Amino acid sequence: MTKTFLAGILILAATLAAGCSDKQFSASASVGPNGSARVERGKYLVAVMGCNDCHTPLKMGAAGPEPDMARFLTGHPETIGPLPTVRQQGPWVWMGAATNTAFSGPWGVSYAANLTPDRNTGLGIWTEDMFVKAIRTGKHMGTSREILPPMPWPAFRNASDEDLKSVYAYLRTLKPVVNHVPDVTPPAVATDQH
Ligand code: HEC
């Protein structure tokens, strides 16, 4: 009887402690753009949201294609260059590069961006506001052309401001890598080429 009672108290205490630490986390996570809790949260989100799937080139490993972590989040490799455009319409309408960083389809050809903070070829000059707006609105840098498939911004736009800011904060901590990703090829030009 007493044991059960004590166990009940212990469970209650554990629940309260968990509640407290959650609160502590969210309080420290919003301290500032470079707060380490935010960066840690961003690292976790980038892993869970699969940014690596398209923004890190695949290389051939012993067990098949694997992300080339030496080029983590550096986007479509400039050494590969542009992907041919797709002419065929019908049930098979798109094709991709072996690196899974370039995608040719009815939208033209899109190339996964360099997400490292390199000034000229990555997100170097992007502000936090631009990043959040780009993901929320699906507009390049938050203001101009539409961000093309398969960038899953229609799903990511549902993330909270705090989460998007955390992703941004983490991306700022990456080593800047110079990799000039080709510009998109719009569909009209893609059709003209064939
Ligand atoms: C399924 C593939 C895919 C995944 C997963 C993906 N992206 Fe992208 N992303 C792309 C492609 C392709 C582009 C280029 C689109 C374009 O140029 O219109 C892009 C472009 C971007 C851009 C540049 C947008 C702009 O305004 O030019 C940012 C920033 C970005 N992605 C961030 C992310 C982040 C952060 C994640 C993970 C949370 C992520 N992406 C996951 C494919 C992907």
Give 31-82 pLDDT, tens digit per residue: 455 579 999 999 999 999 999 999 999 999 999 999 999 999 999 999 997 8
- Burial grade of 73 (CB within 10 A; 0-12, 13-18, 19 or more): buried
User: For residue 9, what pLDDT is reported?
Assistant: 41
Q: Is the pLDDT of residue 87 over 90?
A: no
Torsion, Cα of 185, 186, 189, 190 (10° steps):
70
Cα 11 to averaged position of ligand 1 atoms, centre (Å): 44
In this prediction, residue 186 has a pLDDT band, given cuts at 50, 70 and 90, of confident
Of 73, 100, 151, 183, which is best to mutate to test ligand 1, by the most ligand atoms within 8 angstroms of its C-beta? 151
Q: Which whole-number Å values give the CA distances from 106 to 29, 81, 86, 148, 162, in the listed order? A: 41, 20, 8, 10, 34
Tokens 């990703």 found at: 181
CA 54 to CA 95: how far, in whole Å? 14
Mean pLDDT of the chain: 83
User: For residue 183, what pLDDT is reported?
Assistant: 94
- Find the mean pLDDT for residues 109-119: 97
- Find the mean pLDDT for residues 125-150: 97
In the chain, what percentage of residues exceed pLDDT 70?
77
- Burial grade of 154 (CB within 10 A; 0-12, 13-18, 19 or more): exposed
Q: Which atom of ligand 1 is nearest to the CA of 146?
A: 18
55 close to ligand 1 (CB < 6 Angstrom): yes
